[in-house]
Amino acid sequence: MASSGDWLQPMWIRTTGIWLLTLGFLATGSPSIGQAPPQAAPEAAKLRTPGDVYREAMHPLDVVRNSLDNWSDSELGALAAGMHQAREACSQAKPEDYLGDDLYDLARVCALGQDWNSTYTVAQRYVGGDDAAQPVAHRGRAYAMEVNALIQMGDLARAVATTREMLTKLPYDAAVSESTGYITTYLEQALDPDALVLALQEHAAVVEALGKGVPLAETNGSDAVSLGSLYESGMQLAFLERYAGADVPAAAVVQGLRSALLKPELLSVEDQRLILAVDTRYALLGEHRPSLEILKSLLSPAAKPVLKRTEGLATVFLLFPEWCTQCRKMVRPMAALSQAKGLTKLAAYALMFQNSAQDASAPLKDETLKDVQGTSTFLVSPATAAGFGATEFPTGIVEDKLGNIVYVGLLPTNAFAPKGLIEEIVDRKNAGRSILAVIDSGKVD
């Protein structure tokens, strides 16, 4: 008998965030999913509001909720039951019988049931309708469902075209920003040149919103995108251009974003910390990694906590906090990829840290490390996250053969699968190509 989680497919897993968000399973108005602020300076810590503290305290739960890899069998079973019910209801419904909010809710029902053809049809019908009696209030969210359905159906070209249409036709608000951000990140993790196409089209709107000096609100809803998150969204273009080998345009993007921050000193502590983290990540590109404070090696009881560079090989690091279950599940696939016979093209290490310096003073018990014992995992200082500007987990860092960082960012769960994101990045760099080969492909002028 199939388990309750057998319906999870690799492509679907990579778009879980947008699926859960459009269905209302995730809280909105908070920092980007999986966000963990870097270690604050003592003076900044004094300025934190209770809201800042609350969001930091909720961070581990946000990460767990966002990844189905962390859900229990009972939770997955309950979700599967709800999906079955939703799919049946979707198959029996006639879209022409509904208008306005009812039609929008039908699209959500079909999306929950993973009837992607119906989801697309209903969401498209909702987006296209508008009259005084039945105003269309959730057009941005409906566009997001259209895009996700197209991704699930394997029609990336139409998903990109639909996103571009949304950016052209709708006012730029929180819903549009989040919807565009999800597909752009999905495309980036697939090393698809269209990630840069979308980022270029969205960028002017991001800069304009950032220059207003207030969070970007949702036109017909309660969601909002913070200034720090807007800056991070704008910086995605700079990262993509660096990955494409377009260093000069990337530098112009960074300068423009920094100029758009009218009064950086008036930003909230949370926004300042996120912007600092993004800038830290960006500054790592092309440089050697910062030094690591390694506390323990889990390779063997006798292994020394020393990281030695393997000359002539690319090096990959998987950075995560010890409570990140889906991150820990990636350690063994990471090891398998680096040890595959005839494919020794990279060295790979997991860097696991406890959530705070106080936690690190009490060593983890051996029973909590069973799943990563015997692997190339190092316990590192909690300050390591700040050193890499890590705000989402699992964070991946890829160095080329010369030890220069060529990629840093959030990894999908299947990043270490054969022919997945990590192997593709390493192969392209070993061949002397850009990670995002958009200039050679003619995708971008």
- The residue extents of the domains of the chain are 10-284, 294-441
Q: Please check whether residue 240 is in contact with residue 202, taking contact to mean a CB–CB distance below 8 angstroms.
A: no
φ, ψ of residue 325 in degrees (nearest 5):
-60, -45
Q: How confident is the model at residue 351 (pLDDT cuts 50, 70, 90)?
A: very high
pLDDT for position 266? 83
pLDDT band at 358 (very low <50, low <70, confident <90, very high): low
* Residue 343 reports pLDDT greater than 70: no
Across 115-231, where does the E strand assignment appear? 216-217, 224-225
**Encoding tokens for residue 267?**
């930003």
pLDDT value at 118 more than 90:
yes
Task: Report pLDDT digits (tens) over 179-197.
Answer: 999 999 999 999 999 999 9
* pLDDT band, very low/low/confident/very high, at 14 (cuts 50, 70, 90): very low
- 10-284, which class in CATH? mainly alpha
> Confidence band (pLDDT; 50, 70, 90) for 75?
confident
Instruction: Kindly report, residue by residue over 15-74, the tens digit of the pLDDT.
Output: 455 556 556 555 443 333 333 333 444 444 446 666 766 677 776 677 666 767 777 788
Residue 156 has which token pair? 């990336």
Question: Are residues 420 and 224 in contact, defined by beta-carbon separation less than 8 angstroms?
Answer: no
Structure tokens belonging to residue 128: 């296209």
Percent of the chain topping pLDDT 70: 79
C-beta separation of 405 from 287 below 8 A: yes
Coil, strand or helix at 101: helix
- Give, in words, the CATH class of 294-441: alpha beta
Q: Is pLDDT at 442 greater than 80 in this prediction? A: no
Mean pLDDT for all residues in the chain: 84
| DSSP string covering 287-301 | SBPPP--EEEE-S-T
Question: So what's the pLDDT on residue 375?
Answer: 94
Tokens of 342: 């005839």
The three-state secondary structure class of 408 is strand
What's residue 21's pLDDT?
57
pLDDT computed for residue 40 by the predictor? 40
Is the pLDDT reported for residue 206 higher than 50? yes
What's the helix, strand, coil split of the chain in %, to 5? Answer: 55, 10, 40
Q: How far apart are CA 230 and CA 214, in angstroms?
A: 10
Q: What is the pLDDT of residues 304-333, one digit of tens each?
A: 988 887 888 999 999 999 989 889 999 999
- Pairing of the two strands 377-380 and 395-399: unpaired
Annotate 223-249 with b (16+ C-beta within 10 A) or e (fewer): bbbbbbbbbbbbbbbbbbbbbbebeee
Strand pairing of 346-353 and 224-225?
Answer: unpaired
Residue ranges with strand state E in 289-425: 294-297, 314-321, 346-353, 377-380, 395-399, 405-410
CA distance 282 to 45: 24
**Type of residue at 178:** E
How far from each other are the two terminal CA atoms of the chain, in whole angstroms? 52
Among 61-75, 141-155, 271-285, 366-380, the least confident range: 61-75
Give the C-alpha separation, 135 to 121, whole Å.
Answer: 19
Structure confidence at residue 190 (pLDDT)? 93
The per-residue pLDDT for 423 is 94
Cβ pair 360, 295 in contact under 8 A: yes
Using omega within 30 degrees of 0 as the cis cutoff, is the peptide bond preceding 50 cis? no
CB 52, CB 270: distance < 8 Å? yes
**What's the Cα-to-Cα distance from 217 to each of 172, 174, 300, 342, rounded to whole Å?**
9, 5, 51, 52
| pTM for the full predicted model | 0.84
Q: What was the pLDDT predicted at 57?
A: 72
- How much is the pLDDT for 357? 58
User: 164-174 burial string, b = 16+ CB within 10 Å, else e?
Assistant: bebbeebebbb
Q: Per the structure block, which two tokens stand in for 69?
A: 């890899």
Q: How far is CA 400 from CA 68, 76, 108, 267, 296, in A?
A: 32, 39, 43, 36, 25
Q: Which of 246, 274, 260 is nearest to 435 (CA)?
A: 246
Of 133 and 347, more confident = 347
Q: What's the CA gap between 415 and 423, in Å, rounded?
A: 8
